[in-house]
Amino acid sequence: MAENRSDGALSVDQQWSRVRGSLRSEFGEAAYKSWLQPLKLASLRDGEVTMSAPTRFMREWVMSRYADRIRAIWHGENPAIRSIAIAVHGGSGPRAAPSPASEQQPAWRAAASPKAADDDRYFGGALDLRFTFKNFVVGKSNEFTYAAARRVAEADAAPFNPLFIYGGVGLGKTHLMHAIAWHIRGRDPNRRVIYLSAEKFMYQFIRALRYQHTMAFKEQFRSVDVLMIDDVQFIGGKGSTQEEFFHTFNALVDQNRQLIITADRSPSDLDGMEERLRSRLGWGLVADIHPTDYELRLGILQSKLEQLGAGNVPERVLEFLAHKIASNVRELEGALNRVVAYATLVGRPVTLETTQELLQDLLRANDRRVTIEEIQKRVAAHFNIRITDMHSARRARAVARPRQVAMYLAKQLTPRSLPEIGRKFGGRDHTTVMHAVRKIEQLCETDASFAEDVELMRRMLEG
């Protein structure tokens, strides 16, 4: 399975045995033996892990009492896992005849709201209970999109149509979409809000074609008040689905129904999509989510920690995580979950050292190696000097100071030794580098605006 391994991660079976270990220590021997040990690992697909229980009753019991923790622990082990389902295995009791995989109705999903799962009017995907506005932390990188999402959620008539949200993986697009859905449903349960992934849309459409249900398929979509399609970049390439999507789209917009679309790129960058569809997607409001900055990451960690109700993670550890795991919020959450699970396990707060050990794999992947060349480039651009001046023998203050800043940053941000750094700066001696480092440290202490400048460059380099 492709999604369960990234750079030497554990196999699903290994993850499962770790999950069991965590469950055992979290719930104690007795509860574990009665309810959790009998669970078997069945499959992992599309971010959903399915386990099976020997009886229906057991399944219900586990779902009602342990599902959230099982899901969270799985997610901590493998951030790709978003939801869990429990099926019934074994010979006892009546079993449904095997149905085509596509038709199967998983009995119960932890990520789904019971309301959404039970209500067959909602043929879309289930909504994640955690993805609410309340749980969304706002920062510079997402405030615009957040405001747009709120606006749509609170409006009675579509304020912009469609709302097109785009941004990189794990930056909160799906979260915001679900938040809009929860909000609208909360205000007026009668409004039909449909959320589904573009893949699911295509799949349903293709199935409708095969069984000649296309009329019903169209009707379904055309009677909704709000239609949300997630990850629309996957619609590219399939001619007839695009065609249908386009018609559905136009019909809804004409009736002033709200459409909300997400993608990993802007409408104009959606290659493989017809031009008329692309331009149509850009008609309403296009809002992008930028990569997170340190403050937002720290804010998210603090908020998640509160949600988890686990107080025993020191601030230093949170700062370390926010600093180190810059790739996306999903990984950040995964890291926090691991740390929390560990702290719960050993019953005392984790230290920085333990954290580093626990998260070795994640940290390595996130270690953006800043090179000395990048530093020189950035610093030269900042002071508006030529890169060659980083190597040159010129001693004029206008070039010597920036050069010292670059040496200082090289010492701070790379694992290079003083002599190595010296060599990269036109073959200077290591004492020159040492002198530069001291000089910049001094200046930072005495000159606040200089210090701010240096800090700014450092942040930009760390991305």
What does the binding site for ligand ADP look like in residue numbers (CB under 6 A)? 131, 135-137, 142, 167, 169-175, 300, 329-330, 333
Of 34, 120, 23, 35, nearest to 74 by C-alpha is 23
> Closest distance between ligand ADP and the C-beta of residue 117, in Å?
19
Phi and psi at residue 387, to the nearest 5° = -60, -35
Is the Cβ–Cβ distance between 176 and 141 less than 8 Å? no
> Closest distance between ligand ADP and the C-beta of residue 200, in Å?
15
Q: Which residue number, 131 or 221, has a Cβ lying nearer to Mg ion?
A: 131
> Closest distance between ligand ADP and the C-beta of residue 77, in Å?
15
By CB under 5 A, tell whether 197 contacts Mg ion.
no
Q: Which residue number, 111 or 341, has a Cβ lying nearer to Mg ion?
A: 111
Q: Which residue number, 170 or 402, has a Cβ lying nearer to Mg ion?
A: 170
> Closest distance between Mg ion and the C-beta of residue 312, in Å?
31
**What is the token pair recorded at 297?**
């990451």
Q: Which residue number, 52 or 197, has a Cβ lying nearer to ligand ADP?
A: 197
Alpha helix stretches (DSSP H) within 390-447: 397-413, 418-424, 430-446
**What is the token pair recorded at 131?**
């993805």
With a CB cutoff of 8 Å and minimum separation 6, the contacts of 270 are 232, 233, 236, 263, 278, 281
Q: Which residue number, 53 or 281, has a Cβ lying nearer to Mg ion?
A: 281
Distance between CA atoms of residues 389 and 410, nearest Å: 16
163 has which bridge partners? Answer: 260, 285
Question: Which among ligand ADP, Mg ion, none contacts residue 425 (Cβ within 5 to 8 A by kind)?
Answer: none
Question: Which among Mg ion, ligand ADP, none contacts residue 171 (Cβ within 5 to 8 A by kind)?
Answer: ligand ADP
Distance between CA atoms of residues 217 and 454, nearest Å: 58
Give the range of 172-180, 247-255, 423-431, 447-455 binding Mg ion by CB under 5 A. Answer: 172-180
Give the range of 28-36, 173-181, 192-200, 369-377 binding Mg ion by CB under 5 A. Answer: 173-181
Q: Which residue number, 173 or 257, has a Cβ lying nearer to Mg ion?
A: 173
End-to-end CA, the chain: 31
Cis peptide before 162 (omega within 30 of 0): yes
**What is the token pair recorded at 268?**
């104009």
Phi and psi at residue 322, to the nearest 5° = -65, -30
By CB under 5 A, tell whether 174 contacts Mg ion.
yes
Question: Which among Mg ion, ligand ADP, none contacts residue 331 (Cβ within 5 to 8 A by kind)?
Answer: none
With a CB cutoff of 8 Å and minimum separation 6, the contacts of 194 are 122, 123, 124, 221, 224, 226, 227, 228
Distance between CA atoms of residues 275 and 268, nearest Å: 8
> Closest distance between ligand ADP and the C-beta of residue 193, in Å?
17
Give the range of 98-106, 165-173, 214-222, 451-459 binding Mg ion by CB under 5 A. Answer: 165-173
Alpha helix stretches (DSSP H) within 234-314: 239-254, 275-281, 294-308
Q: Which residue number, 329 or 399, has a Cβ lying nearer to ligand ADP?
A: 329
**What is the token pair recorded at 152?**
């749509």
252-311 residues near Mg ion, rule: CB under 5 A: none
Q: Which residue number, 279 or 307, has a Cβ lying nearer to ligand ADP?
A: 307
> Closest distance between ligand ADP and the C-beta of residue 141, in Å?
8
> Which position's Cβ is nearest ligand ADP?
172
Q: Which residue number, 59 or 71, has a Cβ lying nearer to ligand ADP?
A: 71
Secondary structure E strands in 89-191: 163-167
By CB under 5 A, tell whether 113 contacts Mg ion.
no
Give the range of 11-19, 170-178, 305-313, 397-405 binding Mg ion by CB under 5 A. Answer: 170-178
> Closest distance between Mg ion and the C-beta of residue 173, in Å?
5
> Closest distance between Mg ion and the C-beta of residue 170, in Å?
8
Cis peptide before 114 (omega within 30 of 0): no
52 has which bridge partners? Answer: 40, 87
DSSP structure class, residue 36: I
Quick note: the x/- pattern for Mg ion over 33-72, rule CB under 5 A, is ----------------------------------------
Is the Cβ–Cβ distance between 106 and 85 less than 8 Å? yes
> Closest distance between Mg ion and the C-beta of residue 116, in Å?
17
Q: Which residue number, 174 or 220, has a Cβ lying nearer to ligand ADP?
A: 174
User: Measuring CA to CA, how many Å separate 386 from each of 146, 380, 428, 450?
Assistant: 40, 6, 18, 20
Chain contacts with Mg ion (rule: CB under 5 A): 173-174
